[in-house]
């Protein structure tokens, strides 16, 4: 099975320009711990976790109301192509000790297409506030 057939295309995302505070509030409202961060052109700009918000934002004294989440987002997201086999994506996740992998278009830069999770714990909701 191809990743394009297995990916969740409705998982919540946040925009790179959204403030850290908006993203934190959205995480609380959605009981989520992770969001893909999407740039204005639809490309994957990174990922953000609740842990990164705590570590980078609150401990360094960033202004969470005015600092964009892109400022603290992780840029080394684990990705795969929609044409990759799911078994290949699963192997990448296991090797990287990650519970999810983001599916990005290879012909269109890094356009975010969806995600695949090893477990069903990843929230699969409609787009979040400031979402793509």
Contacts of 81 (CB under 8 A, 6+ apart): 3, 103, 104, 105, 106
Residue 10 located in a structural domain: yes
Q: Above 50 in pLDDT, residue 9?
A: yes
* Residue 95's CATH number: 3.10.580.10
Residue 122 located in a structural domain: no
Whole-number pLDDT of residue 130 = 53
Residue 90 located in a structural domain: yes
Residue 26 located in a structural domain: yes
Q: Which tokens belong to 104?
A: 């990005």
Relative to beta strand 14-15, strand 34-38 is: parallel
pLDDT tens figures, 25-45? 999 999 999 999 999 889 999
Element (H, E) at 6: helix 3-6
Residue 106 located in a structural domain: yes
Task: Give the angle subtended at the CA of 57 by the CAs of 43 and 121, to the nearest 5°.
Answer: 60
Strand partners, 44: 38
Lowest-confidence region among 54-58, 78-82, 105-109? 105-109
| 90/63 Cα distance (integer angstroms) | 37
Residue 9 located in a structural domain: yes
Contacts of 55 (CB under 8 A, 6+ apart): none
pLDDT tens figures, 92-104? 999 999 999 999 9
The answer to whether 69 and 37 are in contact (CB under 8 A) is yes
| 85/92 Cα distance (integer angstroms) | 11
Number of domains in the chain: 1
Strand partners, 112: 104
Give the range of the structural domain holding residue 77, as residue numbers without chain letter: 3-117
Residue 128 located in a structural domain: no
Residue 78 located in a structural domain: yes
Strand partners, 115: 8, 102
**Mean pLDDT, all residues of the chain:** 87
């Amino acid at each position: 099975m191809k990743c394009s057939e297995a990916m969740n295309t409705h998982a919540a995302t946040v925009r790179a320009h959204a403030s850290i505070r908006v993203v934190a509030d959205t995480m609380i409202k959605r009981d989520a711990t992770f969001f893909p961060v999407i740039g204005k052109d639809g490309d994957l700009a990174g990922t953000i976790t609740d842990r990164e918000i705590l570590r980078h934002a609150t401990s360094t004294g960033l202004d969470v109301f005015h600092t964009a989440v892109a400022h603290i987002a992780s840029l080394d997201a684990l990705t795969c192509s929609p044409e990759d086999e799911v078994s290949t994506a699963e192997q990448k996740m296991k090797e990287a000790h990650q519970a999810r992998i983001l599916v990005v278009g290879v012909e269109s830069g890094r356009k975010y297409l969806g995600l695949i999770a090893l477990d069903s714990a990843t929230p699969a909701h409609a787009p979040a506030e400031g979402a793509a």
